[in-house]
Amino acid sequence: MHSSITGQYLTRYQRLTAEEGNGAGGHGAGLLPVTGAQRRFVLVRAMDPAGRPDTVPMFFAFPRGTVDTARLRAAACHLAAVHPALRSQAFVVRGTPVLRHAAPEIPVERVGCAPGEDVHDALRRAVGAWSADGPPLRLFLARQEHGSGTGRTGEGHEDGAEEVLAIVLDHAACDGQSLARIVEELGTAYRDRLGPDDAAPADVAAELAAYREAVLLQLDAEHRASSPDALAYWGERLRDVGERAPKPAARSADTTALPTGAAELTLPADQLAMPFATLLDACRAAAQVLYGTGHVPPIGYPWGGRPAAAAPVLGCFLNTVAFPAATHGPRPAPELTATQWWDDLDRADTPFDEVVRAARAAGSRWSGQLDGLLTVDDARRRPVLGLGGTTGREVHVDGRAVRAPFAVSVVQGPETQLRMVWDRAVLDDAAARDAFAALCGELRTAQPVG
Fold of 5-221: Chloramphenicol Acetyltransferase (3.30.559)
Contacts of 38 (CB under 8 A, 6+ apart): 90, 97, 99, 172, 315, 316
Q: What is the pLDDT of residue 101?
A: 87
pLDDT score of 359:
97
Work out the mean pLDDT of the chain and round it to a whole number. Answer: 88
372-378 and 406-412 strand pairing: parallel
127-141: pLDDT as tens digits? 988 887 889 999 999
Identify the pLDDT of residue 155. 45
Asked whether the predicted pLDDT for residue 432 surpasses 80, the reply is yes
Q: Residue range 115-144: average pLDDT? A: 90
Region of 344 on the Ramachandran plot (φ > 0 left; ψ -120 to 50 alpha; else beta) = alpha
- Contact in structure between 173 and 134 (CB atoms under 8 Å): no
Rounded Cα gap, residues 298 and 321, in angstroms: 10
- CA–CA distances in Å: residue 310 to residues 99, 217, 306, 375, 422: 19, 7, 6, 24, 36
Does residue 396 have a pLDDT over 90?
Answer: no
> How much is the CA Rg of the chain, to the nearest whole Å?
22
Mean pLDDT, residues 16-30 taken together: 62
Provide the residue count of the chain: 450
Cα separation, 369 vs 250, in Å, equals: 19
Task: Please report, for the chain, the start and end positions of each structural domain, with discontinuous segments joined by +.
Answer: 5-221, 238-445
- Is 70 exposed, middle or buried (CB count within 10 Å of its CB: 0-12, 13-18, 19+)? exposed
Residue 329 has pLDDT above 80, yes or no: no
pLDDT given for residue 146 in this prediction: 52
Q: What angle do CA 315, 316, 320 make, to 5 degrees?
A: 175
* Whole-number pLDDT of residue 147: 46
**Mean pLDDT, rounded, for 170-193:** 93
Across the range 408-419, mean pLDDT stands at 87
The answer to whether 182 and 66 are in contact (CB under 8 A) is: no
Confidence of residue 429 (pLDDT cuts 50, 70, 90): very high
User: Lowest-pLDDT range, 14-18, 84-88, 159-163, 222-226?
Assistant: 159-163
Closest CA to 39 of 77, 15, 4, 80: 4
Q: 171, 54 in Cβ contact below 8 A?
A: yes
Does residue 336 register a pLDDT over 70? yes
Query: Over 90: is that where the pLDDT of 419 sits?
Result: yes
Tell me: pLDDT of 450 over 50.
no
| Helix, strand or coil, per DSSP, at residue 282 | helix
CA-wise closest residue to 285 among 338, 332, 339? 332
Reported as a single tens digit per residue, the pLDDT across 92-104 is: 888 899 999 889 9
Topology of the domain comprising 238-445: Chloramphenicol Acetyltransferase (3.30.559)
Phi first, then psi, for residue 101 (nearest 5°) are -60, 145
pLDDT of residue 160: 57
pLDDT exceeds cutoff 80 at 28: no
CB 101 within 8 A of CB 115: no
Q: What is the pLDDT of residue 157?
A: 41
Q: Please indicate whether the domains covering 5-221 and 238-445 agree at the CATH topology level.
A: yes
Amino acid at residue number 231: L
pLDDT tens by residue, 195-250: 999 999 999 999 999 999 999 999 999 999 999 999 999 999 999 999 999 988 76
Average pLDDT (238-263) is 82
Name the percent of the chain lying above pLDDT 90. 65
**Mean pLDDT lowest for which of 84-88, 188-192, 443-447?**
443-447
Confidence of residue 415 (pLDDT cuts 50, 70, 90): confident
Residue type, 274: M
- What mean pLDDT do residues 15-40 have? 75
Number of other residues whose CB lies within 10 A of the CB of residue 200:
11
Instruction: Report the predicted TM-score, pTM, of the whole model to 2 decimal places.
Output: 0.89
Cα 386 from Cα 394, distance rounded (Å): 11
- Confidence (pLDDT) at 275: 85
Strand partners, 390: 387
Task: Give residue 167's pLDDT.
Answer: 97
Residues 319-346, mean pLDDT to the nearest whole number? 89
Contact residues for 54 (Cβ-Cβ < 8 A; gap 6+): 41, 44, 45, 170, 171, 172, 403
Q: Check whether 153 has a pLDDT greater than 80.
A: no
Q: Give residue 154's pLDDT.
A: 46
In this predicted model, what pLDDT tens digit does every residue of 356-373 receive, in sequence order?
999 999 999 999 999 999
Res 339: pLDDT: 94
Say what angle helices 176-191 and 69-82 make with each other, to 10 degrees.
130
The confidence band for 384, taking pLDDT boundaries of 50, 70 and 90, is confident
pLDDT for the residue numbered 27: 44
Report the pLDDT value the prediction gives residue 332, as an integer from 0 to 100.
73
Nearest Cα neighbor of 217 from 325, 309, 330 is 309
Residue 158 has pLDDT above 70, yes or no: no
